[in-house]
Chain A
Amino acid sequence: MDLHSIETLAQAVSYRSVMVVVQSLVKSFGELKAVNGVNFEVRKGTCFGLLGPNGAGKSTTISMIVGTLVPDSGQVTIDGKSIAGETDPLRRKIGFVPQELALFEDINFVQNLSFFASLYGMTKSETEARTKAVLTIVGLSDRATEPVKNFSGGMKRRLNIAIALIHSPELLVLDEPTVGVDPQSRNSIFDVLEQLKADGMTLIYTSHYMEEVERMCDHIAIIDHGKVMMMGTLDELLRTLPCRFQLRFSFADQEIASEAEAVLGRGKIGTIFRTESTVEVLPDHNAKAIVDSVNELQSAGLVFDDMRVERGTLEEVFLKSTGKSLRD
């Protein structure tokens, strides 16, 4: 086998292992360019995270991937094909979990699932079998015939996911699926998603919660103002930080903290943030950052109550690439 054949084969293997390809995607709403040349690939069986603040262009990108919005330019391919029209069977490969609770509260769980199954052309027996399986996946088998309006917020969120799974999609696209969910329900949703991923499903997950993306995603794109600012694995992204840790000092009151902010700023140790009586230091380099910070504070006669060294996060990666906080 010659070199060219090997390259072609490698490309073909690579092609078959890619579930979603997003190329030069552009979408404007009037003057606003919501998505401005977004590119990425999602490999089969992986979880791809789109991390960005509200209004960054995540939902618009998602809408174009699931085919509910037509791009101005660029294209999306799902398993090598573009969605051609409203009734394209390719849509069966996609399960979509909107940010909102897109379900009917006045009817029960099974009736909700049956309705959406009918939109995917599933037969009665297929729907019954799949409903049973999906109920088990999301852990709501015992509430199947209860009106949805009686469910807790977390249970409704799980139903929101269950509806997207009813037709056995290969790709699950989740748009901020944990908005307004309590920590316990959030964990239970993560358990469901991790199980799906373990079963080989491809996931695209958007969030502005960095902890969720860190936990769930193999590859992450940081998006802001409709553009991908950075992309890579969690480790690759964290490696872009000049320092893999941050310092957190706690002071007795805001006045001292404010003085400390000024002192540390003058010391040119790194980027300084103050939140009430806490000051965070994102060092520009690893060496001597801790020692320098403590020395600066001691020289100024500022006593701190507590000091912690914490691992760097995507929040700092985002801050570094966009100059603003994820929650701005």
Chain B
Amino acid sequence: MLSHIVSIAKKDVRLFSADRKSMITSFMVPIAIASFFTMIMSSGGGDQKPTKIPLLVVNEDNDSMTKVLVDKLKSNENLTIEVVSRSAAQMAVKSGQKSVAIAFGKGFGAQARSALFTGTPAKLDEFYDPGKAIDRQIVQGAIMQVLVQEISKAGMSGDGAKTNMEAALQNEVDPSRKAAWGEFLSSWEALDKTGAMTANGGSGGGMNQPFEISASAMTASKDANAESNATRGHIFAGMAIQGLLFFAIDAAMGLLRDRRTGVWTRMKAAPVSSMSLVLGKGLGSWFIALLIFSFVLAFGMLVFGFRVYGSWIGLALVAIMSALMTAAFGLFVASLGKTEAQSRGMSVLAVLMMSMLGGAWFPTSMMPKVVQTISAVIPVRWSIEGIDAMMYRGAGLSAAVVPIAALAGFTALFAGIAVLRLRKV
């Protein structure tokens, strides 16, 4: 039985290498897609600067704090600021020339400061292109950081802060809250007199800036390129798995072609069990898938510089199981369809869905909760989790156990269905 399985696998590897164009495509497509995504989704590291999002800013407020806000936004490394009129901003976003604009209306600064203690929050107008939601998210993140820092600093220090607290005390009707405001104001005045707690290092008393963001990429590597290398590794892992699934579709089409051309019937006429035929096909596909996977990751490491910081054995086992899962998936696809035309469209759709839901394109954490739940039954997710853990997270062999077990389960499921169905044809 083993010799039959090996013969069939060897034949498939020989056929794969005989069709040079197809072979090169199998290796190069995941590399090309991964390289493309790597270049657009991760900063280059080293001297390369991240791409800036253009942001139109409208300032109709004469307040000094609002002017500081605009200046601070101008110095933000993620944004390119252009100050324009409200109508120009609305027109530019509506026409698609710009993706986001914000407008500080008249009285924004004063209202924002007093709103820390009393009254309604100041309104910041935002105009955005719904087709560029990612730009909007980046802009919102950047402006929230600047606004919270500057407004809290201005609102909690100096005479303005005292005036705002007095107003809050006056407006409060609840006796216990009124008493609390009174104590808070007394304490603040005492601090202000000592000048011990200065705002942002300056003089004049008041309170300090409540927080500063100190970002650290949680990777095993501590070098300057750790974050971008992690992103690159993740992208290459995702695209490699997607490439394997597309190769699996090719393998499935090969089996369906064998059925159409009578090769399968001829093989079944020989004294060989259906199990051997299916396992032989699976072994050949597994070997080729493993080659593709290894080649794609090696290319990424060599050209884009990401490294394995965790267990090499764990990575090898996850790769072996991922290749096995994709080989079984190919057999599964072949067992479901009767013709190549019938199966190709559906299986391409299935691969794209699995890649997307499994986190090959974007991290699953960016997806809605329900999709994250669904992704647990998508094998691609376990491949990527295992590879990420072994590569940039620097995890040990034990972290590979769950992904390997999940992949083994999917392999058994796909292969089981394939064997049951293919032995009848």
Contact = CB atoms under 8 A, between A and B. Distances in A.
B263 A104 contact: yes
B271 A120 contact: yes
Interface in A96-116: 96, 98-104, 106-107, 111, 115-116
B270 A111 contact: no
A88 interface: yes
Contacts of B273: 86-87
A147 B269 contact: no
Instruction: Categorize the interface residue count of chain B.
Output: 20 to 34
Contacts of A115: 7, 11
Contacts of B15: 104, 106-107
B274 A86 contact: yes
B222 interface: no
A52 B261 CA distance: 22
A267 interface: no
Contacts of A86: 268, 271-274
A121 B266 contact: no
Contacts of B177: none
Contacts of A98: 262, 265-266
B421 interface: no
Contacts, number: 74
Contacts of B270: 91, 116, 119-120
A214 B266 CA distance: 27
B47 interface: no
B19 interface: yes
A104 B3 contact: no
Nearest to A173: B269
Contacts of B271: 86-92, 119-121
B265 A63 contact: yes
A68 interface: yes
Nearest to B423: A86
A163 B266 contact: yes
B260 interface: yes
Given A86-B273, A104-B11, A106-B15, A119 B267 contact: yes
A106 B269 contact: no
A117 B233 CA distance: 45
A67 interface: yes
A99 B265 CA distance: 11
A102 B261 contact: yes
A68 B273 CA distance: 11
Nearest to B258: A102
Nearest to A65: B269
A84 B15 CA distance: 32
Contacts of A101: 261-262
B4 interface: yes
B266 A116 contact: yes
Contacts of B267: 119
Nearest to A120: B270
Given A106-B18, A107-B18, A66 B269 contact: yes
B14 interface: yes
Interface centre among A104, A106, A118, A119 (most CB of B within 10 A): A119
Nearest to B22: A106
A91 B14 contact: no
Contacts of A63: 265
Interface in A220-278: none
Contacts of A119: 4, 7, 267, 270-272
A118 B269 contact: no
Given A86-B268, A86-B271, A118 B4 contact: yes
B334 to A, nearest CB: 17
Interface centre among B11, B19, B270, B274 (most CB of A within 10 A): B270
Interface string B236-275: 0000000000000000000000001111011111111110
Interface centre among A89, A92, A107, A147 (most CB of B within 10 A): A107
A130 to B, nearest CB: 15
A116 B15 CA distance: 14
Given A102-B263, A107-B15, 20 more contacts: A66-B269, A68-B265, A87-B273, A91-B271, A100-B260, A101-B261, A101-B262, A102-B261, A102-B266, A103-B261, A106-B15, A106-B19, A107-B14, A111-B11, A115-B7, A118-B3, A118-B4, A118-B7, A121-B271, A163-B266
5 contacts: A66-B269, A100-B262, A107-B11, A115-B7, A115-B11
9 residue pairs, one from A and one from B, having the closest CB atoms = A98-B262, A102-B262, A100-B262, A118-B7, A106-B18, A119-B270, A91-B271, A102-B266, A96-B269
Interface of B: 3-4, 7, 11, 14-15, 18-19, 260-263, 265-274
